[in-house]
Chain A
Amino acid sequence: MQNPLKQITPKDIKRSLLMALWFMFLTFPIMVIKVNTITDTVEWRWINMFIVGAATFIFSHVWKVLIDRKEGRMAAAEEPEKKAEKVTLRERLEEKPAIVKTGSLVILGLAVLFPIMTGMYQTSIMITALLYVVLALGLNIIVGLGGLLVLGYIVFYGVGAYTYAILNYHFGLNFWLALPLGGIFAMALGILIAIPVLRLRGDYLAIVTLAFGEIFRIVMENWNALSFGPSGIANIPRPTIFGLDFNLKQSTNLTYYIILVFVVLTIFIVRRLEDSRLGRAWVAMREDEIAGESMGIDMGKTKLAAFALSTFWAGVAGVIFAGKTTFINPASFTMWESILVLCMVVLGGMGSIPGVITGALIITLLPEYLRAFSEYRMLIFGAILVIMMVFKPEGMIPAIRQKYEFKLNTGKNRKGVK
Chain B
Amino acid sequence: MAPILDVKKLRMDFGGLRAVNDVDLHINEKEIVALIGPNGAGKTTFFNCITGVTRPTAGDVMIAPPSTGKVERVNGMKPNRITEKGLARTFQNIRLFQNMTVLENVMIGRHTRMKAGVGGAILRDRRTMAEEKQVIEDSYEVLKKLNLEQFVNELAKNLPYGAQRRLEIARAMATEPFLLLLDEPAAGMNPQETHDLDETIVRIRDTEGITILLIEHDMSLVMSLSERIYVVDYGKLIAAGVPEDIKKNPEVIKAYLGEDVDA
Contacts and interface: CB of A to CB of B under 8 A. Distances in A.
User: Do A and B share a direct contact in the complex (Cβ within 8 angstroms)?
Assistant: yes
Interface in B81-95: 83-84, 88-89, 91, 95
B246 interface: no
A295 B111 CA distance: 8
Given A272-B121, A294-B51, A296-B80, A284 B97 contact: yes
Contact of B109 (A273, A295, A408, A409): A295
Q: Which one of B104, B120, B144 has the greatest number of beta carbons of chain A within 10 Å?
A: B104
Q: Which one of B97, B128, B144 has the greatest number of beta carbons of chain A within 10 Å?
A: B97
B132 A298 contact: no
B101 interface: yes
A292 B80 CA distance: 8
Given A272-B121, A276-B120, A413-B137, A296 B78 contact: no
Contact of A296 (B83, B100, B152): B83
A401 B108 contact: no
A294 B89 contact: yes
B141 interface: yes
Interface in A250-302: 269, 272-273, 276-281, 283-284, 287-288, 290-299
Contacts of B116: 276-278
B114 to A, nearest CB: 5
Q: Which one of A296, A408, A411 has the greatest number of beta carbons of chain B within 10 Å?
A: A296
Given A402-B104, A411-B141, A417 B79 contact: no
B39 interface: no
Contacts of B99: 283, 287, 399, 401
A404 interface: yes
B149 A408 contact: yes
B150 A408 contact: yes
A411 B80 contact: no
Nearest to B171: A295
B175 A284 contact: no
A276 B79 CA distance: 22
B203 interface: no
A408 B144 CA distance: 10
Contacts of A109: none
A403 B102 CA distance: 10
A293 B89 CA distance: 11
A298 B52 CA distance: 13
B107 to A, nearest CB: 6
Contact of A294 (B53, B101, B136, B140): B53
A291 B111 contact: no
A97 interface: no
Interface residues of B, number: 51
Contacts of B237: none
A406 interface: yes
A140 to B, nearest CB: 15
Contact of B137 (A295, A402, A411): A411
Nearest to B84: A296
B257 interface: no
A258 B206 CA distance: 60
Given A278-B117, A280-B104, A402-B104, A297 B97 contact: no
A80 interface: yes
B127 interface: no
A298 B84 CA distance: 10
B152 A406 contact: yes
A305 interface: yes
B36 to A, nearest CB: 22
Nearest to B116: A277
A80 B136 CA distance: 27
A417 B136 contact: yes
Contacts of A399: 99
A87 B116 CA distance: 36
B133 A401 contact: no
A284 B171 CA distance: 12
Given A272-B121, A280-B100, A403-B153, A293 B78 contact: yes
A194 to B, nearest CB: 15
A293 B101 contact: no
Given A273-B121, A402-B101, A404-B136, 12 more contacts: A269-B122, A272-B121, A276-B121, A277-B111, A290-B53, A290-B95, A291-B95, A295-B175, A406-B152, A408-B149, A416-B136, A417-B129
Ranked 8 nearest A-B pairs via Cβ: A276-B121, A296-B112, A296-B83, A287-B97, A291-B95, A293-B79, A403-B153, A277-B116
28 contacts: A80-B158, A272-B122, A273-B121, A276-B128, A278-B121, A280-B104, A281-B108, A287-B96, A287-B98, A287-B100, A290-B79, A291-B97, A293-B80, A294-B79, A294-B80, A294-B88, A295-B80, A295-B111, A295-B175, A298-B80, A403-B153, A404-B103, A404-B152, A408-B150, A413-B137, A416-B133, A417-B129, A417-B136
Interface of B: 51-53, 78-80, 83-84, 88-89, 91, 95-101, 103-104, 107-109, 111-112, 114, 116-118, 120-122, 124, 128-129, 132-133, 136-137, 140-141, 144, 149-150, 152-153, 155, 158, 171-172, 175
Interface of A: 80, 269, 272-273, 276-281, 283-284, 287-288, 290-299, 305, 309, 399, 401-404, 406, 408-409, 411, 413, 416-417
